[in-house]
């Protein structure tokens, strides 16, 4: 990144980010990465409040979700993410879907495990992450070997970046030993 660009990038304020975003909304979305950056910046802001400069937001939005930490859900300026921002972040959590449950956006993913007890082992591995993040999923074990997980931020009745961070960390779990082998089509 050229030296000239770096200071300007690090001096971007939230207002400039929002102006740039509306510019892009008005004049088409030629640079998907920029739109991603803007929406991620806003969703990042909504998660941690107004950052003093775009720099912190800019840097953190480049960070991989699984390397980030969840913030306390009682943070006063935590707001539900817009469906558009959620769609952008959904691209970063492979295997997860988003559903609108009576107006509440939620993340959802399911797995087939080898046995009922392997399903409980799966829950334990997820629980360890949830406890360390202070952010918790809804866990379901149905039909004895189907693990289904829903994630949303209960405190605000919608999706925040916390939910995507938790989903990304669940995706990093080593669970191959618990999963039923996929049937190979003959
Ligand atoms: C203070 C602390 O952040 C809250 O009690 C947490 C606990 N875990 C949580 N998990 C989820 N998914 N949503 C919440 O609102 C939530 N709140």
Pocket test for ligand 1, best of 77, 139, 154, 165 (most atoms within 8 A of CB): 154
- The secondary structure of residue 66, as a DSSP letter, is G
Residue 112 is predicted with a pLDDT of 98
Pocket of ligand 1 (CB under 6 A): 72-74, 134-136, 153-155
Please list the ranges in the chain whose pLDDT falls under 50: 1-12, 17, 19-60, 62
Q: Which pLDDT tens digit goes with each residue over 136-148?
A: 999 999 999 999 9
Residue 16 is predicted with a pLDDT of 52
Expressed in angstroms and rounded, the spacing between residue 20 Cα and the centre of ligand 1 is 33
Pocket test for ligand 1, best of 136, 137, 149, 152 (most atoms within 8 A of CB): 136
| 116 exposure class (CB count in 10 Å sphere: 0-12, 13-18, 19+) | exposed
Cβ contact 128:163 at 8 Å: no
Residue 28 is predicted with a pLDDT of 40
Expressed in angstroms and rounded, the spacing between residue 182 Cα and the centre of ligand 1 is 34
Residue 71 is predicted with a pLDDT of 87
Measured from the Cβ of residue 46, the count of other Cβ atoms closer than 10 Å reads 20
Residue 183 is predicted with a pLDDT of 79
Residue 13 is predicted with a pLDDT of 52
Which atom of ligand 1 is found nearest the CA of 163? 12
Cβ contact 135:163 at 8 Å: yes
Residue 78 is predicted with a pLDDT of 82
Which atom of ligand 1 is found nearest the CA of 136? 10
Domain with residues 82-178, CATH architecture: 2-Layer Sandwich (3.30)
């Amino acid at each position: 990144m050229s030296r000239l660009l770096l200071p300007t990038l690090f001096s971007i304020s939230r207002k400039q980010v929002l102006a740039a975003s509306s510019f892009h909304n008005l004049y088409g979305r030629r640079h998907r990465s920029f739109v991603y950056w803007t929406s991620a910046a806003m969703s990042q802001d909504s998660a941690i409040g107004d950052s003093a400069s775009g720099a912190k937001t800019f840097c953190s939005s480049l960070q991989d979700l699984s390397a980030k930490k969840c913030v306390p859900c009682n943070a006063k300026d935590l707001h539900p993410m817009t469906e558009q921002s959620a769609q952008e972040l959904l691209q970063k959590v492979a295997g997860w879907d988003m559903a609108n449950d009576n107006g509440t956006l939620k993340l959802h993913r399911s797995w087939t495990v080898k046995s009922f007890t392997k399903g409980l082992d799966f829950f334990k591995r997820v629980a360890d992450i949830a406890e360390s993040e202070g952010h918790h999923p809804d866990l379901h074990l149905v039909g004895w070997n189907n693990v289904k997980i829903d994630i949303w931020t209960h405190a605000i009745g919608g999706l925040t970046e916390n939910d995507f961070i938790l989903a990304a960390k669940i995706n990093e779990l080593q669970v191959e030993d618990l999963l039923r082998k996929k049937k190979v089509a003959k």
